[in-house]
Structure 1
Amino acid sequence: MKKKITVKLDIQKIVRITGNHGGYETGECLLCEASGWLEGEFGSPYSTKDTGADLVHKKNCLMNKVLA
């Protein structure tokens, strides 16, 4: 029998700010290790078109469900 597990994420602690560049911030996701410019407060979900420099979470990252 499968048990349902609920995971509560504190998103304030998952995306770490790594730099502030005159109002534009860079960050890193501690779950999937994606990093880049922050579009929004917590980066962008995997489904977002990646520009190559923005923080876009990897496909299996739990933050995709939070940001959806």
Structure 2
Amino acid sequence: GNTNVAYYKGLLAMYQLHELIGEQKINTALRTFLQHYAFPHRPPTSKDLIHEFLRISEPALHKNIRKLFL
């Protein structure tokens, strides 16, 4: 079915994010995300993760990052 399309779309978005902001910033955003939403906090949404990517990146890149995920 279409599960492969969704998988590859996510893979490509993360690859493009890597090209935009780099591995170190992605890892920092993921680390902060995991710490912030660890139990007993509320479960995160995909928008919460995107917010972390935006928070850690340069404002000039925000439009491109939003295009990848929203």
As a proportion of its length, which structure holds more helix? 2
As a proportion of its length, which structure holds more strand? 1
State TM-score, norm by structure 2: 0.29
By relative contact order (CA 8 Å, sep 6+), the higher-ranking structure is 2
